[in-house]
A and B are shown apart, each in its own frame.
Chain A
């Protein structure tokens, strides 16, 4: 199960839009403009890639065709990698594709050797006037460089052909491209060679490539043994927003959500078990009817509606101002030096409305199940036997009926738990409680994908704990079940 959750989280992680390196380096220094990638920023990016483990293959193995390149993951730019993959898919021969692409990259590189001022001064017509204005030179060079970049990001033959044509024209018109032109012609030859020697049949042959342990998933899960520890040791990478390690941001929030969930589930059980027993015991009485109707209505009431209604009624200056609107503490009053009791006293009013909403969402479901369960047990022979023996009603209910009717309600513990955790997103958002649910909501608004994945994984893990607890409770309540 854990493997499946981690795999799922990882797959979502890989498919998240945008390039993590770009996002992280952008958040690190906002001034780095897209067109001016100096060597320094490039180096920073390379280090980031290494830190994030993006220079590794994705998984232990890959399933592809013979035309695919097995070292494509080493290409730094996501867009370039996509182009390469599509090109190799179109023409089948990886070597040719790679040659062509390298040559294209060299054309791009050659642009940096062009010096605008030199061209401006050196190229003169017969009257000694500069042939081209600085602006014109600049425009032309930018145009050419831009076109080459565009070519490196497309595999469409129509677009590529148009670019070949226009660039060729450009280079013939402006003589100062002299140094670039041979490189460019070379690239074009390589392109023609790739077209002529296409081996499409290779794309139809499936292959499996084995990468071993040095892959992104392994890295993500177990870390590299040095600075990164992997998800399994609580290292979830870095937030896109402030580049801080996610685990530090999260751990302080886990306990809030976890406390709320645990307290509310316990409270829900504490209320629904007596209620279920009583209404089942007095089946078809007025109490039973009324409580059943109320429970049914509550059952169909969305928790966000309840939450907003509670806020409207009890935290509204126009109605009743009993409780604060949001948060878990008042920042102006709260003092971290307080004793635990003072802290609790201060926080209690903040806790009440969210707790009511939390409890209600599992309570309605539970008491319905409890009532049905107890009614079922009351029909059993051993209850009749107990009564026939002359046992008091109290003993019959508490000793004979209760324990047996607990089984179904424990079964649903495993279901209640994810329900409560999932519901926490809505409730925490309504009441602005800084727990996991509110965190995932915020990170979705800010497209902070590593954070989303981290919260998803942790909640999945908490759900697992819920299953474990319900399994243990099973054995406690029903001696017939044992896990030996």
Chain B
């Protein structure tokens, strides 16, 4: 039998390809991802390959797994043994037989003490040669984007900063889309009337949530916090608590089956849509940047915390789109058919409705990543979110703000942020046009 060979994915991809700016943005994004993945091999002050005293070593690779790796080298002529700790060795001062440097032979967090105090990309740059003289740096060892006040290489900082920026986008939006899709889907699919359950089950579920929180976190709070303080098993205890909560809720729901008597058996509807919609409105009405800044001011600084907070506060857009799609989809024939065939709600949502609701979600994820990156770089620009020693695009730009001479510290990170945000926005627009022709302006 001849099948109609039309596939939506193929169609969308063809549409996307027609949008040249979006397509090129995608290529740039892939390049950025490659840069982020291979950052330690693109910018590193340790050689990729070096031959020292007759032994071949790969310092840039070795320090990946163990930053403080050590190795002994024996001089064959004098018989002297020398132990090197890779990450604090200045490889440039060693008499290497042969060496392959990374394209940018500097690490982002280590200052070059001969090029401190904002050395311009075009200015004079110095280096110490083997005779311990300070001379003009050869072209190969120049900081081609300049340095900051303590001589850190800007190009290297930018390349390693790519990792943080992309990671922030992906993780924050990962969290946001899990929450957003889940809440949006159940709110849109069930609405206020269609999530029906026997009264007893409803009450026992609420009770289960309370009891679950009580036994999972209330009773075990010291167990968990002590486990985190002692190191290893904290996450495990936390997981155990979550498991306990699930077991309690499921258990109580199971018990409710045996209590179907009289009035308790009556079905009531859960106004899940109202809950979710009010939640979205509430979160939208709080200025997000201020909320994030306030929270990150109170906890210890960490990039992971920033990602989590951004994720936890930016799911509303995704939830709104998902909800709207599900409101539309639940009336369509194929979802009704799935229901009437007796499939469970879960299956109808996940297998039938969800794949058709993802288009706007992808679009808002792309825009969301752009704004997550913007928020993170704003925070590190203000020097609030991330730890002081962490090099990100925003913190580099902040250094430039303090020193008017150092235009390179403003232009390069600024454009890096600008380009990343632009390509995500362009990809978002391209996706919107390709996936959802109705939204095309």
Contacts and interface: CB of A to CB of B under 8 A. Distances in A.
B293 A312 contact: no
A64 to B, nearest CB: 7
A384 B222 CA distance: 71
A132 interface: no
Interface string B359-399: 00000000000100010011001101000000000100100
B422 A421 contact: no
A15 B288 contact: no
Interface residues of B, number: 46
B404 A318 contact: yes
A467 interface: yes
B289 A422 contact: yes
Contacts of B384: 441, 444
B240 interface: no
Contact of A426 (B291, B381, B417): B381
Contacts of B287: 418-419, 421-422, 459-460, 463
Contacts of B185: none
Nearest to A373: B441
A302 interface: yes
Interface stretch (B97-105, B128-136, B210-218, B250-258): B210-218
Contacts of B27: none
Helix, strand, loop or mixed for chain B's interface? helix
Contacts of A146: none
B298 A16 contact: yes
A17 B219 contact: no
A218 to B, nearest CB: 22
A452 B381 contact: no
Given A1-B282, A302-B417, A463-B286, A309 B377 contact: no
Contacts of B282: 1, 4
A204 B295 CA distance: 32
A467 B417 CA distance: 31
Interface in A263-314: 296-297, 299-302, 304-305, 308-309, 311-312
Q: Which of B214, B219, B294 has the most CB of A within 10 A?
A: B294
Contacts of A447: 297
A302 B421 contact: yes
Contact of A441 (B219, B298, B382): B382
Contacts of B378: 302, 304, 426
Contacts of B210: 63, 206
Contacts of A441: 382, 384
B286 to A, nearest CB: 6
Interface in B268-315: 281-282, 284-291, 293-295, 297-298
A460 B288 CA distance: 10
A87 to B, nearest CB: 10
Given A65-B214, A421-B290, A15 B414 contact: no
A4 B286 CA distance: 10
B352 to A, nearest CB: 32
Nearest to B421: A300
Interface string B407-433: 100100010011001100100000000
Contacts of A304: 377-378, 381, 394, 397
A449 interface: yes
B401 A204 contact: no
A456 interface: yes
A86 interface: yes
A335 B49 CA distance: 67
Interface in A425-484: 425-426, 429-430, 440-441, 444, 447, 449, 452-453, 455-456, 459-460, 463-464, 467
Contacts of A15: 298
B397 A308 contact: yes
A316 interface: yes
B400 interface: yes
A312 B407 contact: yes
A206 B414 contact: no
Nearest to A9: B294
Nearest to B279: A4
B404 A312 contact: yes
Contacts of A230: none
9 contacts: A1-B285, A5-B285, A302-B378, A418-B285, A422-B289, A441-B382, A449-B297, A453-B294, A456-B291
Given A89-B222, A418-B286, 9 more contacts: A12-B294, A155-B222, A302-B414, A418-B287, A421-B290, A440-B290, A452-B297, A463-B287, A464-B285
Interface of A: 1, 4-5, 8, 12, 15-17, 63-65, 86, 89-90, 155-156, 203-204, 206, 296-297, 299-302, 304-305, 308-309, 311-312, 316-318, 372, 375-376, 415, 418-419, 421-423, 425-426, 429-430, 440-441, 444, 447, 449, 452-453, 455-456, 459-460, 463-464, 467
Nearest 6 pairs between A and B by C-beta? Answer: A422-B289, A300-B422, A418-B287, A305-B414, A444-B297, A422-B287
